[in-house]
Amino acid sequence: MDWKEHLEDTSNNLAAFRKTHEDAAKGFTAMHRGGMAEGALTRREKELIALAIGISKQCVDCIGFHVQAAAKAGANRDDIAETIGVAIVMGGGPAYMYGVKALEAYDQLIDD
């Protein structure tokens, strides 16, 4: 998979939806900002949690966006790999298959 192209396509689809149902998009954005704001957990920790959930829920787009956001918040490849390990413990074989997609996304999207 070409992660950059995939996430660009997804971003374009999201932009089109925002024009179609602005209230729903704004509501989700507000919820996202509130949930991901720093508090007792850092932004990095929250992004890694979101990544683990994206893996467990088998959401390819979530995986790509949260890999990027986690790296932007300071996560490195080892952090991503350990997050995948936790997701596998909680999600079994399907999480394993989607977890390796997360590592592939990291390798394609993040310049170390």
Q: Is residue 26 part of a domain?
A: no
Q: Is residue 6 part of a domain?
A: no
Q: What is the pLDDT of residue 111?
A: 77
- CA distances 13 to 19, 61, 83, 88, Å, are 10, 12, 28, 30
Average pLDDT on 6-15 reads 98
Q: What is the pLDDT of residue 112?
A: 61
Q: Is residue 107 part of a domain?
A: yes
pLDDT digits (tens, 9 = 90+) for 42-93: 999 999 999 999 999 999 999 999 999 999 999 999 999 999 999 999 999 9
Q: Is residue 104 part of a domain?
A: yes
CA–CA separation, 69 and 83 (whole Å): 14
Task: Tell me which residue range forms the domain holding 79.
Answer: 48-112
What is the percent of the chain where pLDDT is above 90?
98
Average pLDDT on 15-34 reads 97
Q: How many domains does the chain have?
A: 1
Output the pTM of the full model: 0.94
Q: Is residue 90 part of a domain?
A: yes
CATH code, domain carrying 53: 1.20.1290.10
Q: Is residue 36 part of a domain?
A: no
Q: What is the pLDDT of residue 102?
A: 97
